[in-house]
Amino acid sequence: MTALQKKAHNPIGHLSAEDVEQLGRELDAIREQIIASRGERDAAYIRKVIDVQRKLELSSRAILLFSLFPPAWLIGTAGLSISKILENMEIGHNVMHGQWDWMRDPKIHSTQWEWDNASPSDMWKHSHNQIHHTFTNVLGRDNDLGYGIMRVDEDQRWSAFYLGQPLWNFLNACFFEYGIAAYDLEIGKYLKGRKDKPTFKRQAKQVLAKIKRQATRDYVVHPLLSGPSFLHTVAANATANLVRNLWTHSVIMCGHFPDGVETFEKTSIEGETRGEWYLRQMLGAANITGSPAMHMMTGNLSFQIEHHLYPDLPSNRYKEISPKIQEMFERYGLTYVTGPLPKQLASAWKTVIRLSLPNDFMAKAQDAVVSTIVPGKQATSAPERVAA
């Protein structure tokens, strides 16, 4: 990725200001249609998903009480993994986006929801809903571009730290829920002295308390209840958490890092209109193709583009409006980035690996062989200080 404003061929160069505003009006109209038709069917949908997830979790955990027996371990662990993924993705993420607030059910409301994840919902909502969804793919504003530990865009300055980013990314995938918690806590910002200490301390306490509750449940209480199956249940919970971490990390990588997704310069959003905001969301996200089960397991983030256009509309509607959105991409001459999970994931990983080295490192390395070695200017610079 390279900031759209620096590209030789501007992918939105053919659109006039009026075109962009027209596009905004069309997207607003689709939004109005969904809101007008929201109702009983949607409410029944989310209640059903919650019901299924809770029953799945309950039965999986019950089976794991006998995890000493290999079939029980396998079935219980598989069930718990799926249940945790559903809870985080289709339920937690979407409820905390306020997608179901219109139901006025205090039990399914963004202000009340707490999820099965290390990061407390309040902190996650701030960094995700407020920062990431507002400043999507704006370099220096959207910290989701590499989560502060990776360089996923040519326009993020290279430093030697990034040499390790394939490893950082893999570790982050394995411990993703803790990665998210550390990220929402803005540890990096705190270490640089740009986050006030009392706030950080208060939030850190909150995170640790939540981690303690979560870990006690998974690694102490349920194993103890399993009696002789103690260690097997510990392993089952650890596996389910790992599976959930790897899966959610992979899905999320596919949302913004594959080839074809655009990024934007910091100054490009000054005075941004509604139409321009929509356009940035259209170009700043990528979808995943797949079966209905696949969409469910990604929390419908396989419709990342639709989600970024309408983050607060019910997730079950993304699939429904997707053809309309694709038709608009075509009509406005834009690229709807999508593909099967393996392809998108490989593309995202390739970016992570390629950008662990300085831009055009390979080309420069070849040049260096034929000419004299001159230390690259970028190689010695410090990592970019990201403004809040």
Partner 1 sequence: MTAPAPVRPVLGRLRERVTTLAGMVVTPLVPADYVDLIDPLRSTNGLRGRVVEVRPETRDAVTLVIRPGRGWNTHVPGQYVRIGVDVDGVRQWRTYSLTSKVPHPDRCIAITVKAIPGGTVSEHLVRRARPGLVVQLDQATGDFVLPATRPAKVLFVTAGSGITPVMGMLRNAVHELEDVVVVHTSPVPAEVVFGGELRALAADGRIRLVERHSRLEGRLDVDALTAVVPDLAERETWACGPTGLLDDLEARWAGLGIADRLHVERFRPATLVTGDGGTATFSRSGVVVESDGATPLLESGEAAGVLMPSGCRMGICFGCVVPLRSGAVRDLRDGAVTTANEGDGVLVQTCVSAAAGACDIEL
Region 306-365 residues binding partner 1, contact defined as CB under 8 A = 312
For 192, the 3-state DSSP assignment is coil
Sole window of 106-114, 183-191, 254-262, 345-353 interacting with partner 1 (rule: CB under 8 A)? 106-114
Residues in a beta bridge with 289: 340
DSSP H helices in the chain: 17-37, 40-64, 70-86, 94-96, 121-125, 165-174, 176-184, 187-191, 197-216, 222-225, 230-256, 274-283, 292-297, 304-309, 318-331, 341-354, 361-370
Give the CA count within 13 Å in the CB-facing half-sphere of 93.
Answer: 24
Residue selected from 8, 18, 40, 385 as contacting partner 1 according to rule CB under 8 A: 40
What does the per-residue mask of binding to partner 1 show for 120-139, with x meaning CB under 8 A? ----------x---------
Nearest CB to partner 1, comparing residues 55 and 194: 55
Span of 52-60, 150-158, 162-170, 276-284 interacting with partner 1 by CB under 8 A: 52-60
155: left (phi over 0), alpha (psi -120 to 50) or beta: alpha
Six-digit token string for 92:
């937690």
| Nearest residue (CB) to partner 1, 192 versus 213 | 213
**Cβ(167)–Cβ(104) under 8 Å?**
no
Which listed residue (106, 292, 323, 375) binds partner 1 by CB under 8 A?
106
- Nearer Cβ to partner 1 (125/151): 125
300 contacts 316 by C-beta, under 8 angstroms: yes
111 binds partner 1 (CB under 8 A): yes
Give the total residue count for the chain. 388
116 counts as binding partner 1 under rule CB under 8 A:
yes
Task: Quote the least distance from Cβ 97 to partner 1, whole Å.
Answer: 11
What single-letter DSSP state applies at residue 290? -
* CA 60 from centre of chain: 27
Residues from 55 through 74 that contact partner 1 (CB under 8 A):
55, 58
- Which residue among 75, 204, 211, 225 contacts partner 1 (CB under 8 A)? 225
272 binds partner 1 (CB under 8 A): no
105 binds partner 1 (CB under 8 A): yes
Binding-site ranges for partner 1 (CB under 8 A): 38-44, 51, 54-55, 58, 98, 101-107, 109, 111-112, 114-116, 130, 210, 213-214, 216-217, 221-222, 225, 312
